[in-house]
Amino acid sequence: MSLFRMFGDKPVDPQDAAARFIEDSKHEEAHDRLVWAMRTNRDKAVAALPDWEDLRSVASQIKEHTLTHLDTYLEHFEAAATANGVHVHWARDGAEHNAIVVQIFEERGVKLAIKSKSMLQEECGMSESLTKHGIEARESDLGERIQQLSHERPSHIVVPSIHQLRTDVAELFAKHLGTDPNNSDPHYLAESMRNDARPQFLRAQAGMTGANFAIAETGAIVVCTNEGNADIGATVPPLQVCSIGIEKLIPRQIDLAVMLRMLSRSALGPPMTQYTTHLRKPRPGAELHFILVDNKRSERLGSKEFWHVLKCIRCGACMNTCPVYRRSGGLAYGGTYSGPIGIVLDPAFDPHKYHELPFHSSLCGSCSEVCPVKIDIADQIYKWRREIVSQGELPAVEQAGIGVLGEVLAHPGLFEATETVGLRTLKLLPNAVLANRLNPWTNGRKMPVPAQTTFRQWFEDNRRRDGEDA
């Protein structure tokens, strides 16, 4: 059963989408539990490594260094890769990226490509674009394939189908693979997909991957997977095409040690992913293509407030820890990226479509704390709110409230009066008045019981006598 379909170009409504996800308590409960388990595993892994905070600092610094010298490292990488016999392409945006892929495939008569997970190819809408040219790009990662068959975006950058229950998958596979609809044993389902995918791997004329890291020093790329699907795509077909965001660069091979020690621990807890794949040169008789993609990254790099987000290594820790993400599901964000990192990535692609996202957060700050490369995600969410407001995109309910608040806070006397009146009102008003349809954040929640007195009254009664100033 698919709870969501792709959103169009109209602004996404995360509250409404989240409400539909929560409607089914089984999905909400499982999602919250599974995603939180990843966060717990991350904590155990981090606690076992005394160097963790040093690693974070060094990782952050490596990324900041690379980004502040990005032109040089891109040239280094291109030169090293070219010397290795790799074809290096450059794409300004998704359309250019897709056109390059289509051209490579059409020239070589490729009709079926088998791909491993790539958020960048997702971002470019590559698979849809290839379909229009009669080329099938089949997802090989189990979760991605589940999402592809469901006609949904990945709901999580590491575990794309984490919002689906085993019974959803059983129903889906029964329809597409002819499996027993009543058998929802994950072992049976995974085995069925393995057997379905194998012949396609052997038949595919091209393999596609993204890149977790691109090393300027050696011209190699590194792809991290747990299933080994990137390796099959990289070692079986005679042609490989890898899409690389320009922010994936790191200077040296030894920098990989720092990054890789953090990536899987932050994502799921284990010290490394099962497969850490290095592609440096085409195999004898094969072709290897790297496509370096900008797609608004250079624009972001030039933003004093938002360039830090380019440090992201796509571990998903911020999603796992986020109380809003865990309860609303990743599809509620309606963009390529979801969770806290999605809130700060998606609006940069389309501020109108994603203007609600920065408000889909409690600003608790946990995302910034778990980020392995020290991105100030919570601060960036706050700054995006400012950005959205300055573009006149503030949601109506917030707009009305904030106007009044500004007036009241600007006048201390008025604030004192309002505070007392407000508290009395809170006690008298039924939940239904505050938790109304204009304020979707209160749906499914009970309002806290108001305090007996205002803080000011409490201070007067309890502390004033101690001779302190108010």
Partner 1 sequence: MNVNMTAREAILGAVRLALPKPAVALPDEIHFLGKPRISSNVGYKGELPDLEKVAGFPAPEESLVPFFEKQLVAMGGRSFRVGSAMEARAKATELFPEARVWASTVPEVPGNRRVRAGDSPGSFADVDVAVVRSRLGVAEAAAVWLDSEDLVVPSLGVLAQHLIVMIDPSKIVPTLHEAYGGGLSGETNPYGVFMAGPSATGDIEGVIIHGAQGARSLIVLFAEEELR
Q: Read off the tokens for 209.
A: 């991957």
* Amino acid identity, position 425: T
Tell me the per-residue interface mask from 205 to 224 with partner 1, x by CB under 8 A, - otherwise: -----------xxx------
Q: Which is nearer to partner 1, 61 or 457 (CB)?
A: 61
Q: Which is nearer to partner 1, 114 or 381 (CB)?
A: 114
What DSSP line would sit under 237-280, residue for residue? Answer: SSEEEEEEEGGGEES-TTHHHHHHHHHHHHHTSSSS-SEEEEE-
Task: Please provide the distance, in angstroms rounded to a whole number, between the alpha carbons at the two ends of the chain.
Answer: 59
Applying CB under 8 A, the span of 85-93, 124-132, 358-366, 424-432 interacting with partner 1 comes to 85-93
Task: Measure CA 116 to chain center.
Answer: 17
Binding to partner 1 by residue 275, rule CB under 8 A?
yes
Residues 276-335 that bind partner 1 (CB under 8 A): 276-285, 292, 294, 298-299, 301-302, 304, 307
SS3 444: coil
Applying CB under 8 A, the span of 124-132, 268-276, 347-355, 372-380 interacting with partner 1 comes to 268-276
Report, in Å, the least distance between residue 352 CB and partner 1: 23
Which one of residues 26, 187, 437, 445 is an interface residue with partner 1 (CB under 8 A)?
Answer: 187
Strands 239-245 and 275-279, sheet pairing: unpaired
Greatest C-alpha distance within the chain:
87
Residues 21-80 that bind partner 1 (CB under 8 A): 30, 34, 37-38, 48-51, 54-55, 58, 61-62, 64-65, 67-71, 74-76
Residues 144-173 that bind partner 1 (CB under 8 A): 146, 159-162, 164-166, 169
Which one of residues 124, 246, 331, 394 is an interface residue with partner 1 (CB under 8 A)?
Answer: 246
What residues contact 54, with CB distance under 8 A and at least 6 apart?
none
Which one of residues 95, 177, 272, 429 is an interface residue with partner 1 (CB under 8 A)?
Answer: 272
Residues 123-142 that bind partner 1 (CB under 8 A): 140-142
Which one of residues 134, 178, 181, 271 is an interface residue with partner 1 (CB under 8 A)?
Answer: 271
Binding to partner 1 by residue 186, rule CB under 8 A?
yes
How far, in Å, CA of 270 to CA of 292, rounded? 30
Selection from 397, 301, 296 nearest residue 351 by Cα: 296
How far, in Å, CA of 15 to CA of 86, rounded? 46
Handedness of CA 293, 65, 271, 370 (dihedral sign): negative
Residues 93-112 that bind partner 1 (CB under 8 A): 96, 100
